[in-house]
Every structure is written in structure tokens, then in C-alpha cells.
Structure 1
Amino acid sequence: MKSVFTYFLLAFIITLPCFAQEEGSEVPKVNREPIQFEKTFSGTFNGQNIEYKSVMGETFLRNSKGEVTAGLWSTSYIRTGVESSKRPVTFIFNGGPGSASVWLHMGFFGPKVVKTDSDAKIDDGAAPYTFVDNPQALLDITDLVFIDPIGTGFSQVEGVGKNEDFWGLNEDARSIAQFMRIWVTKHGRWQAPKFIAGESFGTTRAAKIAEVLEGGGQTMALNGIILISQALDYAGSSSWADNLTSFFTYLPSMAATAWYHNKAGEGKELEDFVAEAREFAYGDYLTALYKGELQTAAEKSTIADKLAYFTGLDKDYILRSDNQILMHRFKKELLREEGKAIGTLDGRYLATETDQSSEGPVLGDPSSYMTGAAYTAVWNDYLRSELGVEMDRPYYSSAVGMGGNWNWKPVPDGSYWEPSYVSTARSLSEAMHRNTAMQVLVANGYYDLITPFFDAEYTFARHDFPQDRIQMTYYEAGHMMYNHQEDFDALAKDIREFISKLIP
């Protein structure tokens, strides 16, 4: 034992100089220009023939000392041949955290888009995939800037930067706000109308960015924010045991999904059935959730009857679940007799499961794996064959290692904070009160089983939001409602009208 101890002691002493050298070593400075690729194109958008250029490349972010900390990559589509100082610009990003902008880029906003099965019945399979022009892209009314946060796409830390400088709620918002100010300055757009479009965690980010942009000595007011599948207050989108809010907010989405799969609401229109679910959720169900064990057996049975009516699940199963159905169980239980599980991002999707007895889906999310390969392949091909981008490293549509290293604290390091559900709802509300011109469009999918539409309603009914500047829209699809062609068309129309009315 003594000899073993001596061996490890010697090994430790020998390695000390190495550690000291690493700690004291000078971080290499970034002495090159940012990488950039540019091409010119033309296309027809909203019936107009438009000349534009694509600019994909990195923007150096810097700390207070002027040192480079990261190279943030973006893809800009900029209309040419027009006066640009007051031309609107829309900044677009996805969520995660840890997702690149490829989903909104290739799925909806880009000048070309990928197409998967609109009816959510056929897997995307293997290459080749369908990639088409997007005549509904917004280039006739706004330039488009797709942002890949640090750690996603080609974006990465550089120079003196470290991942922890960017991987956090506050850190992330500050870095995107810094990029936006740099872009606006470089392209002379301080007098231009400015919009943000975010999806999922991208909506959490958007709310925080709106707050950050109003400080820092470079106030930048936004004209509008587009929230696709909003997630401002995570209490309503975290289906966890003992989170009573989530049982309330998820119920109407369960009802809508059960209706879609012919398990509930027979003979009723979707909107009417959803309205019933809302009324029950706000009324008897909310009371029952908070009364808990103070309810009688008869009261619990009555609530279970209503839950069975709305969700299509067996009453005995609901009672065994104490009238509280977790979403991962619902996704497995709804079609258990057929041996199928439904999607998380979009409850329309379903797939045969390999384990029929599991509590929840075992293969993952069919609404993700039935579309993901198409997005990835099409993007990587488009990147090189059309945008002319050649890089010696892969483009990461999802960041590697970010999830477990993300700092969710909404307060600065060193400040006292007790863990709570993430929420940037108040940040957005206060930003709207400081900027009385800013309006918000909230796009919701009825079959979104990760950020439920009822949670959006519940969130925006609170936090002192100015109700006259909030617009809610609904689509018969899921989280990425644009995967359904009918709702792609509807969303494009709604966003075009929303931006157009805010442009002088």
C-alpha cells in the first residue's frame, strides 16, 4: 500500500510543471479577418422578382478589453438594388438551448425550404430529399439574418473566450444582442425597423434579448417579436411530477391530440372541443389539483370521468395516476393498444414501439426522427453547393456538450438565488412597457406537446402584458407547425401581415 501511495505521489509531482504551464500559458490572439462567403441570387417572393445576396460568415465578439472571445456565425439574405438604411431586418434563431438556426432556416423562413410529409404519416427515410423554392419567404419586405449561437453551427469560442462565457441564460442573450448591434452598425440599419423571430427556447432568448437591448449604453428598440411555440415561463411547459401548473396547461393539448387521433371529441369541431377543455381546466380541474387529498373519492371520480372524456384515456388508469397525467405517459398510453407512441414536438406523428410495456416512448420523438435527417442532409448540401461555403469542420445543428453545462440562473454570478422555473416573461412585459411601439405575435400549434398553446394563453394573461399589443394565432400542427403545408401557408400569411403593419 505504501509503495502504491509513493508511486501516485511521484506521478503527481512530475505532472505539476505541466499543469502550471497550461495555467500560465498565453492564450493565442486572433490575428485574422473573420471568415465570410458571399454569393448573389435572384428569386420570386410574394410575386416580386428580387435580387439579393447571401452572406454567411463569422462575426467576432469581444469582451470589455476589446479581445476576441468568439466567432459567431450567421447567414444573411440582403436585398440588393434598394435603399437600405431604413429597410427592415429580421433576426432569426431556434432554441434548445443548443440548436442552430437550421430548422427555421430550412423549414420556413429561407428562400428555399425542405419538405417532409405534410400529413405526418411517412418517415423522411433516406436521401435524396425534397428541397424547393420558397415563394412565401419575406425578402420582399425584410432582410433575413439567421443566427447560430456559440457552440452551434460553425460558431465557437475564439481567442480568450470560454464556453461558459456564452452558455447561460444571461450570457447567451448578451452575446446575441452584441451581434445584433454589430450587424446593424455594419449595415447601417439603426434607423431601420427591427424584428426578432424565435422558436421554442428561442422565444425564451428573444424575451431576454429585448431586455438586454434596452441597456448597455446602446439602446436598440424592437418593432416586433415573433414567438413560434413560445416558452417564456417553464412552469407551464415542464410536465414533471408535483408541478401542478403543467397538469393544467397541458390538458387542452392532450384533448386536441386525442381528438386528432379519434380518441376523444367525436362529432365535435376541434376549436369547440378545445374550448370545452379550457373551461374545464380553468374551473373544476384547477380546483381539484389544488385541493389534492382534501377531495372525496366521489369528487376524484367525477374529475377522472371528465379527464377520460377529454384525453381518451381509461378512467381506471387516470385514477391510478391520481388525476395527473404526465406528458411522457400520455404519449405512450393514448395509442398503447395499437402498439404506437405519438410525437412530442407534434402529436400528429406516431411510430410503432419496440417495447410495448414501457411507461413512455422508448424510440424517442417520432416527430423529430421522422423529419431530422431531411433537414440535416438538405442543409449540408445547400451550404456547399449553393451558398458556396467550404469549411474544414462540421456544422453542428445541435451543440455538443452544452446541455449539462448551461447556466440557467437569471441573476449575475455571486447573487443570491434559489432554484425556480425559468421565466423571461416579466423581462418581455417590462420591455414592452418601456417600448410602447413593440408588438408581439405568438404562434401556437394545437398538437404541440412540449410547449402547449394553453400555456401561451396562461402566460400572456399574466405578467402585466399589454393585451392590445399581443396577437395569438393557432395552427393544426405541432411545435414546427410549418411542417404541415396548410399551416406553413397560414403562418407565412400571418407573419407577413404582422411585419407589414409595423413598417412605416
Structure 2
Amino acid sequence: MLYKALLIATLLIATPHLALTASEHPHASAPEKAPQPEKEAPPARPTRTSVTKHTVAIGGKSFSYTATAAEMPLQNEAGEPEARIFYTAYTVTPAPGAPPRPLLFVFNGGPGAASVWLHLGALGPRRVEMLADGRMPKPPFHLVDNDWSWLDLGDLVFIDPVGTGYSRAAKPESAKSYASVRGDIDSVGKFIRLYLTLNNRWDAPLFLVGESYGTFRAAGLSEHLLEEGIAPSGIVLISTVLNMQTLRFDNGNELPYQLFLPSYTATAWYHGKLAPELLQDLNRTLAEVEQWASTDYLVALNRGDRLSPGERHAVAEKLSRYTGLSTKFIEERNLRIDARNFVRELLADRSQVAGYMDTRFTAENVDPAAPSGFDPTVANIRPPFTATFLDYVRKELKFESELEYYTLGGGIPSWDWDSKNSYADTSDNLRNSMAKNPYLKVFVASGVFDLATPHLASEYTMSHLGLTDRLKGNITQKRYNAGHMMYLEKGSLAKLKEDVKEFFGNVTMKQSGQDARRKE
């Protein structure tokens, strides 16, 4: 989900050993260094660990589980500490003779977001009690048992990358090395390897679950882990972005304007800003807009200044019909509508601004002259998720820390996108992973009221991976009439769990069948 994150680069330090000294060989002109096999220090076990026992009802069935809140030290080969990653794990002891339970590694995005959002919003055994439509209730805030937890599908490990949550670099000056695409993937990959080793879980079916930038991370991790000998069985991508070009409103980059348009339409539909015939059926309206965006609108964008005044006005009128914005506003912006301008203009007549991550949410626009403002979505979610987590981690999980828990930003320096003269992109990593591991299945969830990672941008990326027909069948895509965090709303939370449960069943069932055939 969300906007900033920090992460880890592994420093490999090999100390050369002086094999023979000058006094031992008096005729030698100078001492020489002889090579010696590198000795890697054994991994340090988690520190500041709290283990508690609980029960929860999921789908009418009771589950007894162990909760572990701990810090995993990351160290270099000399055994020197580099960082520590805070995580929360929920495990259920399988019945005697039962196969190993699937293991889900879960993280949010940003870069800079802790895993608290998926943890207490959708997957964990406890969740924040929001209003039924996903809006913030009146404080104080409370947790309730999560009847739609994914704990019945497998064990859950929520990871806070370095610079998020309680996770920190060992030295403040080294924090920057984690604030990069490569440092992030390396450090989270190292955490996963350590967790599998220290908890004897190498035999478990492994799944990656990411939201927003966490999907970018998951795609990169999928190939990184394969190179480490770790083959995920499945990946769940929630509010997906793998190719940053699909989101950046840069001069000369026409791609986002067409990909964001259907999300503008969905927003205008929700707020009653469309013509009556377009308000009748959202899905039908979106299909019409998506067709126009990928054909006539794309052609108009590509023609640029070669459009005649009449052609330009015709496109502006069509955009006005599909967005609820005035033709004049659109023409003044050269037929190209930035998402930040859209959310401030759409409800200007009501003195309101629409949300960015969930465009159904609104707030009073107290500074109409400002070029940008706060996102009503973030204002809606930050207080309840922060307060309930800090109460929960201390009172129920019995873990205490004097550090600030960074839920969304604040813990990392500027992010290094590891890209020059190009856009950061991990879609190639996902494609390569699927080619190298043909058993890998991918589930993609998108919200139609999301302007952080629009649904059409996600679908565009998945349809441009360049897969064979056989591998295309390994991808499942679902839409939800919700925003970036579709699980905030009870109806979409239940639908997401239902869809993911079916996805997991297909993955594990096919793997069981393949295992049986191999035994035969």
C-alpha cells in the first residue's frame, strides 16, 4: 500500500589472514597473504522475543495459535550486527501426520509502511474495528477478533522492513543503504531465509503477500528467492504496482493518463458526477471507458500537438463526460489530468477534496488555493491503526519497545530507485520467476476507487509480462468496488478472503496432485 519504505543492503566482510610472517621466513622479501576459506558467523537468534498463546474463531471454527513478536538480527559474515527486523508471527500446530502448513510472509509498501495495515486490517487474527463502509469510527478505537483472518489458510509472518515499525539499522549512518530497491529486496530475502532456517520451516509451501510497494517488492523477491534456492508456491498482490511508469505523470509519459481514466470515472460515478445513463451500472460504464481509453484517447494522446482544435475539443468533451470535470478545465490541462488535480477539482463545488487511496472518502477543503493537500484516506486510517497496534503489541503480545513505531513514513531517508534514465520495474523479475518456476501462481487484487495503484494500470502490467499461454493461466485477477485498502470495508474484506481461499485451494490442490503423480 502506501508511500515510502526503508530496507537493507548486506555488507560482506572477509578478513584476509596473514599466513606466514617475515620472521618465520627470513629470506622472504615481504610477508604475503595466503587465502583462507571464508568463515560465516552463525545467524543470531531473535532478540527481545515475546511468545503468547491465543484462540480465535475463523469461519465458525476455533483455532489455537502461538503469537511471536520479536526482532530478527541481520548480521554480516563476521557476525557484526547490521540491522534488526521486527516481525509478528502467528503459527498453528498441525495435527499429527498432517502436511506442513503453508507459510505466508506478509508486508506492506510505501516505501516506508509497516505491515500493520495488512496485519490488523485483513490477515491477522485481530483487526481494527472500522465502520462497515471502512470509515474511521469515533475514538477511542478497538480491536475485534477477525472472522476473515487468513490464519486458517496458513501460518502468518508480518515483516516490517528496516526503517518501518520497530525495525532499525544498527547504525543511523547505514540506514541509507537499506533505502533502495536492491537493499530492500536483499534484506527482506535474508530475513525470510533466516526465518526458515531458525524455525525449521524449509518444508513449508511458501507464499508472498504484498500490498502496494509491497507488490513491487514481492515481484523482485520472487526471483531473488529462487536464486537462493527458495521457490514460492504463490504470490498475492494487493493493489499492485510493478512498473512505476504506469503511475508517474511525467512530461512525455502518456501511459498514466489512459490508465487512470477508468478510476476517475468510478470516482465520479460514486459521487454522482456523471450523466444519468452512466450512473445506472458501474461495471458497464467502466467497460465503455476502458475501451475508449485504450483506443481513441490513446491515439489522441499520441498525436499530441498534431490534433486539430476541433479534434481536441471533441476529446475534451468525452473526457468531461467520463470524469465529471468541466471541458474548460480539461482543455486548460492539454487533455491530461493529473490524479492530484482530479481529487481537488471533482468536488470543488462542494468545498470538498476526494481521497487518493480511496476516492470514496472526502474531507472539507479548507485551503482551495493550495496546489495539494492531505489525503482523506490516510487521515481516516492512521489514528485507529496506530493506536490499536501500540495497545495490542504491549497488552496482548507482551512486547515492549521504547522506539517509535513507524506505521507510514518517518523512518527512512530519501529512496534510491536504482534506476537511471528509466522507471523502476520488477515485472521482469515476476516474468522470469514464472518461467523458472512454472508451478508459481499469482493472485492480483485491485480496487476501482484506488488512485494510488489504479486497477487498469495493474491489469495493463500483468497483460504485458510477455508470458506464454500456459503461464498466463497461472494468474488470477479480481476487482473490488473499494479503494487501495479494499479490506477496510466489510463486504470487500469478506470477498477478498473468499477469493484468496479459492486461490490457495487451487494452488495446494494442484501441488498435491503433482506430488502424487511424481510418487507414482
Question: Normalising by the residue count of structure 1, what TM-score does the alignment of the two structures yield?
Answer: 0.88
Match of 1:63 in 2: 76
Name the residue aligned to 1:328.
Answer: 340
CA–CA distance in 1 between the matches of 2:88 and 2:433? 27
Aligned residue type for 2:212: S
**Count of residues in correspondence between the two structures:** 461
- Residue aligned with 1:56, SS: strand
Q: How far did residue 366 of structure 1 move?
A: 0.4
Q: Whole-Å Cα distance in 1 between the matches of residues 172 and 260 of structure 2?
A: 44
Q: For 1:457-487, what per-residue CA distance to the aligned partner results, in whole angstroms no more than 9, with x for missing partners?
A: 1101112133211111011110001111110
Alignment-derived partner of residue 94 in structure 1: 108
Structure 2, unmatched stretches of 5+, are 1-42, 513-520
1:195 to 185, 201, 207: 207
Which residue among 342, 354, 378 is the counterpart of 1:342? 354
Matched, 1:408 2:410: no
Comparing 388-397 with 331-340, which one deviates more in the overlay? 388-397
Distance of 1:352 and 1:89 partners within structure 2: 43
Q: Does 1:117 align with 2:119?
A: no
1:104 to 115, 118, 124: 118
- Equivalents in 1 of 2:225, 2:77: separation in Å? 17
Per the TM alignment, residue 266 of structure 1 is displaced from its structure 2 partner at its CA by 2.6
Q: Which amino acid aligns with 1:239?
A: F
Partner SS for 2:47: coil
SS at match of 1:370: helix
Does structure 2 conserve the Cα–Cα contact (< 8 Å) formed by 1:57 and 1:75?
yes
Tell me the distance in 2 between the aligned counterparts of 1:475 and 1:71: 36
Deviation at 1:306, TM superposition (A): 0.8
Partners of 1:239 and 1:326 within 8 A in 2 = yes
Q: How does 1:152-231 map to 2 (within 5 A)?
A: 152-158=164-170, 162-215=174-227, 218-231=228-241
What pairs up with 1:68-467 in 2 under 5 angstroms?
A: 68-80=81-93, 82=95, 86-119=100-133, 123-125=136-138, 127-158=139-170, 162-215=174-227, 218-264=228-274, 266-267=276-277, 268-360=280-372, 362=373, 364-404=374-414, 406-409=415-418, 418-465=420-467, 466-467=471-472
| 1:49 paired to 2:67 | no
Shift of 1:67: 2.6
1:472 aligns with 2:477: yes
Counterpart CA distance in 1 for 2:58 and 2:383 is: 27
Residues 403, 228 of structure 1: CA spacing in aligned structure 2 closer, same or farther, 3 A cutoff? Answer: farther
Which residue pairs with 2:517 in the alignment?
none
Q: CA separation in 1, counterparts of 2:448 and 2:132?
A: 15
| Bigger mean CA offset, 299-308 vs 151-160 | 151-160
| 1:202-229 per-position Cα deviation (integer Å, ceiling 9, x unaligned) | 00100111111011xx310011000000
Change (3 A) 1:241 1:484: farther
Offset, 1:110: 0.9
Shift of 1:81: 5.2
- Cα offset for 1:498? 1.0
Q: Are 2:44 and 2:74, in contact at CA under 8 Å, matched by a contact in 1?
A: no
- Note the C-alpha offset of 1:124: 4.1
1:14 alignment partner in structure 2: none
The residue identity in structure 1 corresponding to 2:162 is: I
Q: Is the 8 A contact 1:124 1:373 kept in 2?
A: no
SS at match of 1:213: helix
2:492 aligned with 1:487: yes
The 10-residue stretch of structure 1 (163-172 or 474-483) with the greater mean CA deviation from structure 2: 163-172
Going from structure 1 to structure 2, the CA distance change for 1:39 and 1:401 (only over 3 Å counts) comes to: closer
* Residue matched to 1:499: 504
User: Counterpart amino acid of 1:279?
Assistant: Q
Give 1:178 shift: 0.9
My pick for the range that moved more, 348-357 or 69-78, is 348-357
The aligned amino acid for 1:426 is D
Q: What is the deviation of 1:241?
A: 4.3
Larger deviation, residues 77-86 vs 245-254: 77-86
CA distance in 1, matches of 2:477, 2:488: 19
Q: Say which is worse superposed, 256-265 or 170-179, in terms of deviation.
A: 256-265
1:345–1:480 Cα contact (<8 Å) kept: yes
Paired letter, 2:426: T
Distance 1:265 1:94, change over 3 A: farther
Secondary structure, in 3 states, of the residue corresponding to 1:371?
helix
Q: 2: distance between equivalents of 1:43 and 1:192?
A: 23
Q: Which amino acid aligns with 2:341?
A: R
Could you tell me which runs of 5 or more consecutive residues in structure 1 were left unpaired when the two chains were aligned: 1-29, 411-417
- SS of structure 1 residue aligned to 2:240: coil
Distance 1:202 1:311 in 2: 30
Deviation at 1:167, TM superposition (A): 1.6
Cα shift readout 1:70-94 (whole Å, capped 9, x = no counterpart): 1111100000253587211000000
Partner SS for 2:286 = helix
1:100, 1:152 within 8 Å by CA — same for their partners in 2?
Answer: yes
